[in-house]
Amino acid sequence: MAEMETKGSEIDRAVGALGRGPLEAEGLRQHLWPLFSRVRARKDIYLANHSIGRPPDRAAEDVRASLDAWYRDLGDAWDGWLAEREQFRALVARLVGAPRADCIVPKTSAGQGLRAVLNALSGEPRVATSDGEFDSIDFILRNYRKRGRIALRVTPWRELAVEQAELIVLSSVMFRTGDRVPGLRRLVRDAHAAGALVLLDVYHHAGVLPLDLRELDVDFAIGGSYKYLRGGPGACWLYVRPGLAETLRTLDTGWFAKREPFAYLRPEPPEFGPGGNAWLESTPPVLTYAQARAGLELALAIGVERLREYNLRQKSLLADALFRVARVTVEGVSEDYGAFVSIVHPEASRLVEALAAQGVTADARGDRLRLCPDILNSDEELLKAAALVGEVLKR
């Protein structure tokens, strides 16, 4: 525990040295970048921060500490591992404005969270979603429809209607374009008035934009640490609103959802744990909680509002440079979007390959080249990347 506190204080010291005002490039370079020495050793200009985030050095140290506990303590390591799980839940709850830590149910993917919700609903519920959802979410919903488990209505997100639906599944920030969906509080209120539950996919929202799930009064949310929270694959979660956590039961369950998991009792009917613990499943993948801890602590220490302000400045700098060198229209610059910008191009995937050959890492989704700066990118990198994008666009 003392080791965890010492490592945590490294983040606190670095963030404290930044001061309390807006983030500044020189302060980040001097105080924060040293926490990322391993990934900063790469030679490319990394602009896929919206895809897989760059981990702090401490992530590897935290995972190693959890592994060492296994080697050293074997079965006795579970006390520390479960404490790590509870810390993960508490950190995520702070980040997303959950009223209680137990409302956060650890998952290995956002899709697993969606399936837990679908498997808690009876009959063939009517589900309304958008055609802009991430592929896992879309694929799961279409397969549930194929199996006769749900009735599915898919529309563009701007045309999504809450009437005649029992569950709304919608991203708060669209993964392909970065669009922020406006009026979420009104949508949730209207859905509830129509008798529908609402599940928000906040994967491109959490850690990018301020988020208060309690204020939104949303029923469910899914997200994870893979991208902006620098926690790698597997560190995901499902949010279940208080009230629902106590009354709605999912078939995605296991012994950790029992009232007394280690008592090995088998009452009939089954007795579930309190609150969101009733939504836990079987033996959890404990290393992911250690893997995600440093990234979550960093985002909370800096503050999402400050990260957002700096990201908006970086996006504007990158977009202005792209327009100067290539006269290209860049989408995603304003506050109406998430963290990345995009360029519509019929050969977006070819552009990604051409940029990689020039030392710029980006990605494509369909006909969009996506570029995402973050606090580990210098202004010089963004200007150089813009020039290289201009070159490959001329080929």
Closest CA to 312 of 344, 290, 339: 339
pLDDT (tens digit per residue) in 137-149: 999 999 999 999 9
Interhelix angle 2-17/287-302, rounded to 10 degrees, is 30
- SS3 of 369, please? strand
CA-nearest of 85, 88, 90, 113 to 101 is: 90
Return the number of other C-beta atoms located less than 10 Å from residue 343's C-beta.
23
- Share the mean pLDDT of the chain: 96
**pLDDT at residue number 395:** 78
Kindly list the distances between the CA atom of residue 16 and the CA atoms of 21, 56, 292, in Å, as whole numbers in the listed order.
11, 17, 21
pLDDT for 2 equals: 47
Amino acid 195 reads: G
State whether residue 133 is helix, strand or coil: coil
Distance CA 187, CA 155 (A): 15
CA angle at 201 for the pair 130 and 22, rounded to the nearest 5°: 120
How many structural domains are present in the chain?
Answer: 1
When pLDDT is cut at 50, 70 and 90, the band that residue 184 belongs to is very high
Q: pLDDT (tens digit, 9 = 90+) per residue, 366-389?
A: 999 999 999 999 999 999 999 999
Q: Is residue 31 part of a domain?
A: no
pLDDT of amino acid 1: 45
Helices (H) and strands (E) in the chain, counts: 14, 12
Kindly state the average pLDDT of the residues 333-343.
97
- Judge whether 63 lies within some domain: no
Q: Does residue 235 lie in a domain region?
A: yes
Long-range contacts of the stretch 122-127 (C-beta < 8 A, 24+): 124/148, 124/149, 124/150, 124/151, 125/150, 125/151, 125/166, 125/167, 126/150, 126/151, 126/153, 126/164, 126/165, 126/166, 126/167, 127/151, 127/152, 127/153, 127/165, 127/166, 127/167, 127/168, 127/169
Classify residue 364: in a domain, yes or no: no
Residue 234 located in a structural domain: yes
Tokens of 294: 């440093």
d(CA 144, CA 274): 29
With beta carbons less than 8 A apart as the criterion, state whether 316 and 333 touch.
yes
Structure-token pair, residue 240: 């279940």
Q: What type of residue sits at position 8?
A: G
Residue 62: its pLDDT value, please?
97
Length of the chain: 395
In a domain, 282, yes or no: yes
What are the CA-CA distances from residue 294 to residues 12, 92, 238 (Å)?
11, 12, 20
48 found inside a domain = no
- C-alpha 16/C-alpha 22 separation (Å) is 13
Tokens of 353: 């390959």
Residue 332: exposure state from Cβ atoms within 10 A (0-12, 13-18, ≥19): buried
What is the pLDDT at residue 8? 61
User: Please, which pLDDT band fits residue 7 given cuts at 50, 70 and 90?
Assistant: low
Cα–Cα dist 326/391, whole Å? 8
Q: H helices within the chain, ranges in order?
A: 2-17, 25-27, 37-40, 57-73, 78-96, 110-118, 135-146, 184-193, 213-216, 244-247, 287-302, 304-326, 348-357, 379-393
- The rounded distance, in Å, linking the Cα atoms of 329 and 346 is 14
For residue 101, give the CATH number of its domain.
Answer: 3.40.640.10
Distance separating alpha carbons of residues 254 and 43, to the nearest angstrom: 45
Q: Is 343 within 8 Å of 21 (Cβ atoms)?
A: no
Q: How confident is the model at residue 152 (pLDDT cuts 50, 70, 90)?
A: very high
Task: Tell whether omega for the bond before 269 is within 30 degrees of 0, i.e. cis.
Answer: yes
What's the gap between Cα 263 and its chain centre? 35
229 inside domain: yes
Residue 6 pLDDT: 53
pTM assigned to the model:
0.94
Q: Which residues pair with 173 in a beta bridge?
A: 180
Q: Tell the burial category of 67 from Cβ atoms under 10 Å away from its Cβ (0-12, 13-18, 19+).
A: middle
According to DSSP, residue 232 is labeled -
- pLDDT (average), residues 13-20: 95
- Name the residue range of residue 229's domain: 76-300
